[in-house]
Every structure is written in structure tokens, then in C-alpha cells.
Amino acid sequence: IDSKRARCQLISSDPVVAVIGQTRVFDGMKLYLPHQLQQQVMSIPTMLAADNSPVSLNIKFVKKTPPSECLHLYNVLFKKVMHCLQLTQIGRNYFDRKGAVPIPQHRLEVWPGYVQSVSEYDGGLLLNCDVSFRVLRTITAREVLFDVYNSYPRDYKAKAVHAIVGAVVMTRYNYHTYRVDDIAWDAKPTSTFTFHTGEDITYVNYYKRIYNIEIQDLDQPLLLHREKPRKNASESEEPRLVCLVPELCTLTGLTDEMRADFRIMKDLASQTRVSPNQRQFSLTQYVKRVKDCPDAMKVLGNWGLSLESGAVSLEGRILPEEKIMMKSKTHYHNGTADWGRLLSQDSVIKAVHLENWIIIFTKRDGERARGFTQMMSKVCPPMGINIRPPQYRELFNDSTDSYVRAIKDVVNENVQVIVIIFPTSRDDRYSAVKRLCCVDMPVPSQVIISNTIGQQQKLRAVAQKIALQINCKLGGELWAVNIPLQNVMVVGVDVYHDVTRGRQSVLGLVASMNRNMTRWFSKCAFQDPGKELVNCLKVALLEALVKYYEVNHCRPDRIFIFRDGVGDGQLKHVDEYEIEQVISAFPCLSPGYNPSIAVVIVQKRINTRIFTKLNTKDLDNPMPGTTVDHTVTRTNWCDFFLVSQKVRQGTVSPTHYIVLRNSTGLSPDHIQRLTYKLTHLYYNWPGTVRVPAPCQYAHKLASLVGDNIHKEPSPFLCDRLFYL
């Protein structure tokens, strides 16, 4: 029987319950019982609820599981607890739709909820629970299509695809979520499909019969969702298509336009950005709801489980504050993890003087362009950067072709950088310019949106940031921290996945080229769908090692690889396959070359939260440099949590690091110190970031290539941070 729902109904039928008892957990495949049945294999006759057809249910004893190995059972039990609390499952999390907070001015609502999982940690069996929020739009997919039609009647279908395809919608009649993969323009609610009974039925009649819903618009197209193939599906098996009626689908999440709207994000943050005290209160309320719910307590009590009232208390360590080294002296940031003010008080480590540069703009942005260059001439000298006036290139219109032609006209081998001012943000125009400057005619480029330099009171800060970015794109170095290691290379790896358009994935690899880790080599590679990542990784890493030899005239003795974007389920594959393949590549450079390596997995998408106790009642975010490597870490891993940022609003999210391999001789404490040092070296922000700088650089590189360029950048740019 393929239907999970039907299998669950069979397990709950009276003849089966009479044999196995009331206390049971069934996830659709595995059946857990608190006692052993009389026979190893049992066959129980029962009937399908749908049509009363006879069924023989076979139950086979597999093994007796000790409590420490029952993690799957515990997680299924807590899912039952969530249902007892009348929470609605959306994806993997559970939300309280009764507690939804409307934001009517933006046609949004926020559902509060929880994410939870039970696992075995160094501190024993722990429930990892955190508050979660789901943003829903109060308009339906049909309303979005209607708005698109009114705005673009001539180009309706193309604009509708852009607005809907790739979005995640929720059907309010069963609270399931689906990613929209296409729009079926030739189908509508009066179209028919084959019901499970074998009869042909229209979507109109189906929703009336099953959900008692009357569809109003009979001419709307249907939305298509392609289900992922089953794990054991054959290659010839086609993915199942799910057709959705737009007027019954609510959109979830935010569009790019919404994310760019300051007012929307501010109003959302007032609901979702909760302080440590508020977060702790929500979790305390969750425990109270469980303890006050008889059904939930019965679910746990039947299996001898109970839930403690408080969070786990533990001791952490705060790593020493790092000194920020500029050209003339060393500075402290006094625990703020922010040294933006220092940049105007001291020179950068290595300044590249701006002598031959071009600025391209439309006629209406001429005044802003000249005001910007004047401000650049003021902010650059204090940072040690000499600057000459640019060449101005004024355009008559803002078409993509105008910008492309202008760049082709002015670029030559003497041009250091091109600054392009766009009147508005447009993806197609940005992609065309970046593709030209990164691939076809490689030259460092800086794109500025006109409004960014339009506010006089903010112009100095904006110009300073742009000047620093340009300096990096020309091969400059801004600041450093003390790295007491010699002849090492640090590598950051991240992968960009285009889930909406099904394109190739893009691997970004960024490797340090000097001792201070202020110079970087950047390489990206394309990974075909279904192909192994390791082939791309080997090639990119070998190129980085060749470049390292060119710069230093020696090869690194130790290599530290920080790999981002790896979930728990992929750790075994990375450890047993990818790392071995990387190690096997070293002799390709030189026979006998065998550097020691450390591979550290970087996980940002975690639910663990760490708070500092101020007193018996109040909590706060931990100080930057706080590290925890016990109690809430895994029993069979060498892992730790690190808080590297200073957060003034909301709750800080620690980053989870798992040391998969380490033959470098560095102790776990020293790897923690190195990791924290690397969070200080991201040149797009004068402060610490959440992950090591090479990971953040690799993320920026892979995103630029995956979102905009879609080709491998020119090798001419590989030794500078051209993607900042």
C-alpha cells in the first residue's frame, strides 16, 4: 500500500490495536512498541477504511532498541506532542496559526512557532528547541496573477512566470507547502484528472467534495509542482505533478522588492527579531503548554519520558580579543567587534593608488557622479590611497546596450577600474555589465545605485566604503590580525544552488596566498546536476596550490579547509569520499608532496542558541569570541560553537564547527582561535562576521557567478577580490 495515510489508518484499526495495544508510534514504515509481541512475525487481518477491502497486515520483529538509540522514536513522539498542542506543521516546523500576527499595511502575517529535535549530546539526551517564524502573504496566487495582468497586459505570461515560478505557496485547506515549478496555461479548474477511485473528476468538483470549497474563478490557469522522485524510484519513473488552484494558494516568504523595502523589513523585525529574554520566555511558555496539556503528557508518559522545565546551564569561554593591525599601528576594538572608525584614522596595509579610472553614468545622474568623485578625493588620502580625477562618460539613456557599448569603448589595458552608476536596480542590466567586466573584457568594476550616493549626509560613509571595496578589487589589503602560523594555506569552500531554475551548481573556492591571510586566490567551477562535487573541488584546489607556489616559491606544509553548506547527513560522505579524493590529488603537484590537512565543516543553519546570564532573571547575547565545546556538542564529533559577532538587536546565532579531519598538529583550542581570527578578515565589513572570511568570500563569488555571470570569470581577476 503506497499511501502513508492508509498505512497509518490500518495500524489504528480495531483488529490491529487489539493485538499491539494503544501505546505505539508509527511513522509510516517503522512501528515502535514499548513491549515485545508474542511472535516474531504476525499477520493480522483487517480492512481498508476507504472501501472496506480485506487486508492482511504483516508485522515483523526487527530488533530491541536501547533507549540511547531511540532518537527517531523520540522525534516522532515530539511531533505527536506538537499535534496535541494543535500546532500546524509547515515544512519541518510547527506554527501556531491562532497566534498569527497580522501586518495589514503590507498584506502580510507572521505565524509564531517552534523548531525542535531530540539528539544525543555530550550532556545526555537533549531537546533542541527554538522559536521560529513563518511569514505569509495574505493575498492569493490568483490575486498576484491579476495584479500582473493589470500592470503588464501585453507581456502577461512572461511576467507572471517571473512573479510566481520559484515561489513557495501554502494551501490553506490542508496547510501544505509547494514550490511552484511552472504555470499550466492550458489547464483550468474545469479541467479533469483521474481520482484514486479511477473516475475522472474536475478540480471544481474535487474541492467541493473533499473540502467543501467552491472555486470562484473558473478561467484561472493552474500552478504546477513537480514532486521530488522517491529514493527508490527507477530512472524511468516520471516525477508526479501536483496541480494547484491559484485562488486556494497563499504565497509565503518575501519577494526581492519586499526585502529591499525598509518599512516592510522594519515592521517584520518588530515581530521576528526577539531578544534573548523574549526568546527564553517563548521557550518557557512552550514547556508550560506541554505540561498543561494532558494529551501531550500522556504521549510522553506512556514511554516513560518527561520534559525538564529549564534550559541547560553550562560554562563557556571567551577567546582573547584580537588586535587589528593597520599600516602604522595596532588597534583594539574594545569588545565591540567593529572597527569602522579606525579606517579613517589610519592607512590601510596596502593601498593601490587610483590613477586611471572611469565613471559611467546617465545625464540625470551627472551631478551625483561629480559629487561622489569629489567626496572620494576627500576620503581616500586619510586611508593612504592617492586618487586622481576620473574620466567621465555620460550616457543619453539607461538602456543595457548603452552601458555595454560605453564599457567596450573605454576599456583598455591601462584602465584600473570602471565605476558604473545605475539610476535604478535591475537584474538584467547588472548581469550584462558584470558578465562583460568579469568574463569578456576583464576589468575590475564597481556598480553603484544612484540613490546610494544621493543623500549628502551619508555620502562620506558611502564613499569611504566604496573606496575600500575598489582598493580590494585592485589587489589592495585593508587590515590584518596576528596569525602565528607559517607556511599554511587556508581555504574556504561554498556551493551556490539555483533551486528555482535548475541550473548547474557553482562551487566557490577562495584560498589564502600569504602569511597574514590578506591576499586571496579565487576560483569557481560548475557542477552538473547529479554529479559529484569532489571533481570540481580537486581541480580548483590544485589551481590554488599552483598559484600559492608562484607567489611564495614553496608549497604549504599545512592546509586548513573550511567547508560551508554541509548538513549532518552529508558528513559521512565528505569524510569518507571527498577528503580522500582531495588528499589523493596532492601528488599530482609533486611526487611525495603530502601536506597535513584540517577539514572544518561550517554550519550556519542551526537552532542552538547560547545566552549569557546577567542575573537570576535577565539574559543577554554572549560577547564576541564566546566558544562552547562541551555539553551541547555531539558525543562522536570534535565540534564547537562560536559566537563571533556583536548583535545589538535580537538574538545572536552561533556558528557550529565540526572538525572532520586534523593532521596539522593544532589542538582543538588552537583551531578555535584560528577560526575566530579568520572571522575578522572579511573586507566588506569592518567588523567580525559569522563565518571565517574565506567562506564568506567563497559565498560571494559563487553567488555572483550563479546569479549573474553564469560563466567562469577570467583568470586575470583571480588574484583579487573582484566580487565584493
User: Which tens digits make up the pLDDT trace of 420-475?
Assistant: 999 988 889 999 999 999 999 999 999 999 999 998 899 999 999 999 999 999 99
C-alpha angle 378-379-385 in degrees, rounded to nearest 5: 105
* Summary mean pLDDT of the chain: 90
Band of residue 352 on the pLDDT scale cut at 50, 70, 90: very high
Provide the pLDDT for residue 344.
80
Provide the pLDDT for residue 500.
58
Average pLDDT, stretch 590-604? 94
CA torsion through residues 546, 552, 556, 562, sign = negative
- In our burial notation (b when 16+ CB lie closer than 10 A, e otherwise), range 339-370 reads beebbeebbbbbbbebeebbbbbbeebeebbe
Give which of 434, 465, 459 is closest to 447, Cα–Cα.
Answer: 434
Per-residue cell: 94:
510547527
CB 128 within 8 A of CB 289: no
Give which of 427, 430, 460, 458 is closest to 446, Cα–Cα.
Answer: 430
CB 597 within 8 A of CB 578: no
CB 510 within 8 A of CB 698: yes
22-26, 246-250, 330-334, 617-621: least confident range: 330-334
Provide the pLDDT for residue 230.
62
pLDDT at 51 over 70: yes
Q: CA end-to-end span of the chain, whole Å?
A: 54
DSSP code, position 589: T
Give which of 687, 680, 700, 638 is closest to 663, Cα–Cα.
Answer: 638
Q: What percentage of the chain reaches a pLDDT higher than 90?
A: 65
Provide the pLDDT for residue 234.
56
Q: What is the pTM of this model?
A: 0.90
pLDDT greater at residue 339 or residue 359: 359
CB 338 within 8 A of CB 624: no
Q: Alpha carbon of 422 to those of 361, 374, 462: distances in Å?
A: 7, 19, 16
- pLDDT tens digit string along 168-199? 999 988 889 999 999 999 999 999 998 877 88
- pLDDT tens digit string along 519-572? 999 999 988 765 657 778 888 999 999 999 999 999 999 999 999 988 888 888
Residues with catalytic annotation?
A: 494, 532, 564, 699
Average pLDDT, stretch 69-95? 90
pLDDT greater at residue 342 or residue 680: 680
C-alpha angle 196-197-198 in degrees, rounded to nearest 5: 90
Provide the H-helix boundaries in 194-255.
203-211
Sheet hosting strand 445-449, strand order edge to edge: 391-395, 357-362, 417-422, 445-449
Average pLDDT, stretch 117-146? 92
Q: Parse the chain into domains and list their residue ranges.
A: 4-64, 74-185+221-272, 351-473, 488-717
CB 487 within 8 A of CB 554: yes
Band of residue 647 on the pLDDT scale cut at 50, 70, 90: confident
pLDDT greater at residue 16 or residue 723: 723
3-state secondary structure of 308: coil
CA distance 652 to 196: 49
Provide the pLDDT for residue 90.
87
Provide the pLDDT for residue 64.
87
Cβ-based neighbours of 258, under 8 Å, separated by 6 or more: 106, 264, 265
Per-residue cell: 15:
483488529
CB 84 within 8 A of CB 286: no
Provide the pLDDT for residue 196.
75
CB 686 within 8 A of CB 434: no
pLDDT at 235 over 70: no
- What counts of helices (H) and strands (E) characterise the chain? 19, 34
CB 332 within 8 A of CB 321: yes
pLDDT at 501 over 60: no
CA distance 700 to 687: 17
Treating both helix axes as pointing N-terminal to C-terminal, what angle do 71-84 and 294-301 enclose, rounded to 10 degrees? Answer: 170
Provide the pLDDT for residue 532.
59
CA distance 77 to 695: 37
pLDDT at 233 over 60: no
- In our burial notation (b when 16+ CB lie closer than 10 A, e otherwise), range 603-619 reads beeebbbbbbeeeeeeb
Per-residue cell: 508:
566557490
How many CB atoms neighbour CB 54 within 10 A? 8
Band of residue 370 on the pLDDT scale cut at 50, 70, 90: very high
- In our burial notation (b when 16+ CB lie closer than 10 A, e otherwise), range 256-270 reads eebeeeeebbebbee
Residue 484, CB half-sphere, CA atoms under 13 Å: how many? 6
CB 621 within 8 A of CB 611: yes
Provide the pLDDT for residue 27.
80
Fold classification of 488-717 is Nucleotidyltransferase; domain 5 (3.30.420)
Q: Alpha carbon of 401 to those of 256, 358, 365, 436, 709: distances in Å?
A: 24, 18, 18, 11, 17
Homologous superfamily of 351-473 in CATH? Response regulator (3.40.50.2300)
Q: Pseudo-torsion of CA 250, 253, 258, 261, nearest 10°? A: 130
308-317, 434-443, 481-490, 491-500: least confident range: 491-500
3-state secondary structure of 520: strand
